[in-house]
């Protein structure tokens, strides 16, 4: 699961740090902070993978916390995000 990433991946990271560690990966964040336009500012990475379906299979890791899914791409135009207020809600993708 960890590839050139911090050993403890549940630490809160800024979006810039997430881009540094998880480029070209899907990440599952818990308790993300969002700006007024619902862009992710930071969050705690609880899982990351190169496979989107694999990420969906690990949504349970967010537990009772609000969560966000993010694809970390070099070109921000490729950025895909999804957020959920709790487990059981499916994500709104924008």
Give the tens place of pLDDT for each residue, 26-65.
999 999 999 999 999 999 999 999 999 999 999 998 888 9
Predicted local distance difference test score (pLDDT) of residue 81: 53
List alpha helices for the chain, DSSP H. 15-21, 52-56
Predicted local distance difference test score (pLDDT) of residue 10: 64
Counting the structural domains of the chain, the total is 1
Whether 52 is covered by a domain: the verdict is yes
Whether 38 is covered by a domain: the verdict is yes
Which domain, by its residues, includes 50? 12-87
Whether 16 is covered by a domain: the verdict is yes
Whether 3 is covered by a domain: the verdict is no
72: tokens are 């970390």
Q: Give the residue with greater pLDDT, 60 vs 78.
A: 60
Whether 4 is covered by a domain: the verdict is no
Predicted local distance difference test score (pLDDT) of residue 73: 87
Whether 59 is covered by a domain: the verdict is yes
The helix/strand/coil state of 79 is coil
């Amino acid at each position: 699961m960890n590839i050139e990433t911090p050993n403890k991946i549940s630490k809160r990271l800024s979006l810039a740090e997430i881009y540094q560690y998880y480029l070209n990966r899907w990440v599952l964040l818990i308790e993300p902070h969002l700006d007024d336009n619902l862009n992710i500012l930071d969050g705690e990475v609880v899982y990351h993978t190169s496979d989107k379906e694999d990420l969906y299979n690990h949504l349970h890791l967010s537990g009772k916390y609000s969560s966000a899914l993010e694809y970390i791409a070099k070109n921000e135009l490729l950025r895909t995000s999804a957020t959920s207020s709790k487990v059981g809600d499916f994500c709104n993708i924008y």
